[in-house]
């Protein structure tokens, strides 16, 4: 990607000779100020997480008892064990201290450290949402580029229409539909792909295991990609449309470059900028998984963990997963800002 970006001459020219190269000091300063902002956001999230989750209805101790008759002594014991007997402010201070030490506490429900649970779940989530992101971004950029370049063509109309249709379909509904059609099979379509979990119960070893996991990924991935790729397509399409009417494109054409060359070497690199930002922002959400998709396909990821935590409610687990999700979104947003700064000289001069 770097080669075509360097040839984005018009943008550099527009920024003027003084800013031709990013001075390391300026970039560092910029990155530091962004990082400061991010730290402040994270601090606010820390406070918010603690108090907002305690506003949720339901007493975790009672819910853990699952409606069983517990004596007041037993309830007291449970509360002491979970530290819920202490004043709220003490609970909060403990929470902040522990979080800073990266001790996310012990889950009420699983009775294991939250950090361990997250460690177990983050792999499957990254695999699923990461793959989904890569496919969605590639598909979106490819279709967006073609649609934007041949604006108003049949390809444009069809791809935009289909992607927007999928974008507006409820994930849960689409997931069940795909499960019924390609999982169970309908009419002439046989049962093609498994739809529960990340692996078969009696999964083979070695390369067979890789294939087993890959086949389990097909339906969840398809669902994830189908509902999100429209945003990459639309952003790519609209930013390319803006570039198409720019003078430098006309100049490139006037130079006698082939249409394909003009698009690939000149228009697309510039049009990619907003999409890059969007992708970075979405990477943050990758960590959070896709709660709905994981729930439909019993995918053992963070989304499923978060869903379970809310059901109880398991405060420590909710705090832990929520913190992880928000922090990764904030970090990635900050990174997006910095990367954009590096990629686009116009931002530096602003």
Partner 1 sequence: MRKWFARLAVLGAALLVAGQGATAAHAQDPAAGKKIVRVGATQAMDSMNPFLAVRLVSTSIHRWMYGFLTVPDSKTLQPSPDLAESWTTSEDGLTWTFKIRQAKWSDGQPITADDAAWTFNKMMTDEAAKTANGPAVENFESVTASGQDLTIKLKAPQASMLDNPVPIMPKHVWESVTDMANYDAEKYPAVTSGPYIAIEHKKDNYVKLQANPNYWRGKPKIDELQVIFYDNPQAAIAGLKNGDIDLLGRMTPQEFEGIQNNPNIEAWNTQGRRASYLQINHGATTSDDKPIGDGHPALKDVKVRQALHYAIDKQKLVDEVQNGLAKVADGSIVPPMYKDFFWEATGDTKVTYDPAKANKILDDAGYKKGADGIRTMPDGKRKLEWRFTIHTDTPIEDKLAEYMTGFLKEIGVTLTTVKLDSSKFTEETGITGNFDIAISGWSVNPDPEEVFATHLCSRRPDANGEGGGTESFYCNKTFEQLYKDQQKELDRTKRAEIIKKMQEQLYTDAPIIAIYYTNDLEGYRKDRITSITPIPEDKGLLYGGSGYWPFYTVDVKAQAAGGGSAGGGSNTGLIAGIVGGVIVVGAAAFLLTRRRKSTADERE
Residue ranges that bind partner 1, judged by CB under 8 A: 57-59, 62-75, 77, 81, 109-112, 176, 179-180, 183-185, 190-197, 200-202, 204, 206-208, 211-212, 214-215, 218, 258, 260-261, 294-298, 300, 304, 307-308, 313
Instruction: Match 């069983």 to its residue by tokens.
Output: 68
* Residue 148: CB minimum distance to partner 1, A: 19
Q: Which is nearer to partner 1, 73 or 247 (CB)?
A: 73
- The one-character DSSP state at 87 is -
Residues 111/119, Cβ–Cβ less than 8 Å: no
Closest approach, Cβ 145 to partner 1, in A, equals 13
Map tokens 């990254």 to a residue.
126
| CB closer to partner 1, 79 vs 346 | 79
Provide, rounded to whole angstroms, the least separation between the CB of residue 165 and partner 1: 23
Pick from 118, 63, 51, 52: nearest CA to 314: 63
Cα→Cα distances 236→113, 192, 197, 251, 294, Å: 43, 33, 34, 22, 28
Q: Could you tell me the smallest distance in angstroms from the CB atom of residue 300 to partner 1?
A: 6
Peptide bond before residue 348 is cis, with ω within 30 degrees of 0: no
CA dist list (Å): 152 to 35, 138, 319, 328: 42, 21, 48, 38
Sign of the dihedral defined by the CA atoms of residues 93, 98, 102, 108, in that order: negative
| Residue placing its CB nearer to partner 1 in the complex, 152 or 190 | 190
Of 312 and 329, which CB lies nearer to partner 1 in the complex structure? 312
Compare residues 31 and 77 and give the one whose CB is closer to partner 1.
77
Q: Is 195 helix (H, G, I), strand (E, B) or coil?
A: coil
**3-state class of 113 per DSSP?**
strand
As to burial, measured by CB atoms within 10 angstroms (0-12 exposed, 13-18 middle, 19+ buried), residue 127 is middle
CB of 275 to partner 1, least distance (A): 20
Q: How far is the CB of 45 from partner 1 (least distance, A)?
A: 25
Q: Output 303 or 345, the one with its CB closest to partner 1.
A: 303
State the maximum Cα–Cα separation within the chain, in Å, rounded to a whole number. 86
By C-beta, is 13 or 191 nearer to partner 1? 191
Shortest separation between residue 37's beta carbon and partner 1, angstroms: 36
């Amino acid at each position: 990607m770097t080669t075509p970006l360097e040839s984005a001459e018009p943008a550099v020219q527009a920024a003027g000779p003084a800013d031709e190269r990013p001075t390391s000091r300026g970039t560092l300063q910029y990155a530091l100020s962004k990082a400061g902002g991010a730290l402040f956001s994270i601090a606010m999230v820390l406070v918010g997480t603690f108090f907002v989750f305690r506003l949720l209805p339901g007493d975790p101790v009672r819910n853990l008892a699952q409606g069983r008759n517990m004596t007041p002594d037993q309830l007291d014991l449970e509360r002491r064990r979970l530290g819920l007997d202490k004043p709220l402010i003490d609970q909060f201070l403990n929470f902040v201290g522990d979080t800073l030490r990266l001790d996310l506490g012990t889950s009420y429900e699983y009775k294991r450290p939250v950090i361990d649970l997250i460690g177990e779940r983050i792999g499957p989530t990254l695999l699923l949402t990461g793959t989904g992101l890569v496919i969605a971004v590639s598909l979106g950029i490819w279709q967006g580029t073609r649609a934007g370049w041949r604006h108003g063509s049949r390809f444009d109309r069809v791809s935009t229409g289909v992607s927007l249709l999928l974008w507006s379909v409820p994930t849960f509904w689409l997931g069940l539909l795909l499960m019924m059609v390609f999982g169970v099979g309908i009419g002439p379509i046989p049962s093609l792909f498994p739809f529960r979990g990340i692996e078969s119960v009696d999964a083979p070893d070695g390369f067979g295991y890789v294939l087993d996991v890959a086949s389990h990924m097909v339906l969840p991935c398809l669902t994830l990609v189908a509902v999100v790729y429209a945003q990459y397509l639309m952003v790519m399409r609209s930013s390319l449309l803006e570039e198409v009417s720019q003078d430098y494109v006309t100049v490139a054409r006037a130079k006698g470059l082939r249409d394909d060359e003009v698009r690939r070497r000149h228009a697309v690199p510039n049009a990619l900028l907003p999409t890059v930002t969007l992708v970075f922002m979405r990477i943050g959400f990758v960590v959070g998984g896709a709660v709905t998709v994981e729930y439909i396909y019993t995918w053992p990821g963070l989304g499923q963990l978060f869903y379970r935590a809310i059901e109880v409610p398991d405060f420590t687990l909710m705090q832990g997963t929520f913190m992880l999700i928000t922090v990764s979104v904030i970090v990635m947003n900050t990174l997006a800002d910095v990367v954009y700064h590096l990629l686009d000289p116009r931002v530096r001069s602003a």
